[in-house]
Amino acid sequence: QVQLQESGPGLVKPSQTLSLTCSVSGVSMGRGGYYWTWVRQHPVKGLEWLGYAYYSGITYYHPSLKSRLTISVDTSKSQFSLKLTSVTAADTAVYYCARLAPLGVVTSRWYFDVWGRGTLVTVSS
Amino acid sequence: QSVLTQSPSVSGAPGQRVTISCTGNSSNIGADFDIHWYQQFPGTAPKLLIYGNNNRPSGVPDRFSGSKSGTSASLAITGLQAEDEADYYCQSFDNSLRGYVFGTGTKVTVL
């Protein structure tokens, strides 16, 4: 059974960097076949996809966050991580790590089949 | 801002059939991208309910079904049960935004 678990600070100061880690169990990330992704949920704005990374180093980010976001995979630790720089109050949300599962060759068809439990990150001084 | 619009709430009595709509445009649903649906209970993570428009993952009851037509999609729950009371989100891909997008969410209430 595949399981994902987020970890990281729950409080980040404005202008600083938000760093989260997702620990993956039940599947070997290095075997490929899935993309590893982050999704956040604002209390008011709903669910927002942030970006994904593949074990080989391929990444793709939401265009609006591309300049601030880095997602990386560490297969040796069975983890992937998120770093979001220059955070503001607008980045306050519950952050979920999730697995992006294939539905055909084209990644635009893929879907989020396994989710972590989520972690609340508040940006405040 | 979500580009997929859902009705904020839907309600029904146990045993009834309810449908949840998801309206997009020519950059997402209308561009023939697949629709996926998620169920979320308060304080928990979304759970995959339907993938590829009308496919159920193992363990999802067959009272849940999905469909898509034009720039809209629907999730139907037949034989509504008390445990179906949750929030439901549609998800697709958007060509203009160049990323995965979610619906605004629909709260299902069982009367």
Out of A46, A96, A103, closest to residue B45 by CB: A96
Question: Which residues touch B1 (CB under 8 Å, ≥6 apart)?
Answer: A45
DSSP A85-98: -S--GGG-EEEEEE
pLDDT category of residue B2 using cuts at 50, 70 and 90:
confident
B45 touches chain A (CB under 8 A): yes
**CA–CA distances in Å: residue A41 to residues A2, A86, B19, B41, B91:** 22, 19, 24, 13, 14
**C-alpha–C-alpha distance, residues B14 and A114, integer Å:** 29
Given this model, what pLDDT does residue B1 score?
61
Given this model, what pLDDT does residue B55 score?
96
Q: Which residues 19-38 of chain B have a CB within 8 Å of chain A?
A: 33-34, 36, 38
Given this model, what pLDDT does residue A108 score?
85
Output A3-8 pairs: Cβ under 8 A, ≥24 positions apart: A3/A114, A4/A97, A4/A98, A4/A99, A4/A114, A4/A115, A4/A116, A5/A97, A5/A116, A5/A117, A6/A95, A6/A96, A6/A97, A6/A116, A6/A117, A6/A118, A6/A119, A7/A119, A8/A95, A8/A119, A8/A121
Q: What is the percent of chain B with per-residue pLDDT over 70, rounded to a whole number?
A: 99
- Does the pLDDT of residue B107 top 70, yes or no? yes
Out of B34, B98, B102, closest to residue A46 by CB: B102
Per-residue pLDDT of chain A (125 residues; tens, 9 = 90+): 999 999 999 999 999 999 999 999 999 998 889 999 999 999 877 899 999 999 999 999 999 999 999 999 999 999 999 999 999 999 999 999 999 998 888 888 899 999 999 999 999 99
**C-alpha–C-alpha distance, residues A120 and B18, integer Å:** 32
Are A109 and B47 in contact (CB < 8 Å)? no
Given this model, what pLDDT does residue A104 score?
84
Dihedral through CA B1, CA B2, CA B7, CA B9, nearest 10?
-80
Beta-bridge partner residues of B13: none
Q: Which residues 66-95 of chain B have a CB within 8 Å of chain A?
A: 89, 91, 93
Q: Is A45 exposed, middle or buried (0-12, 13-18, 19+ CB in 10 A)?
A: middle
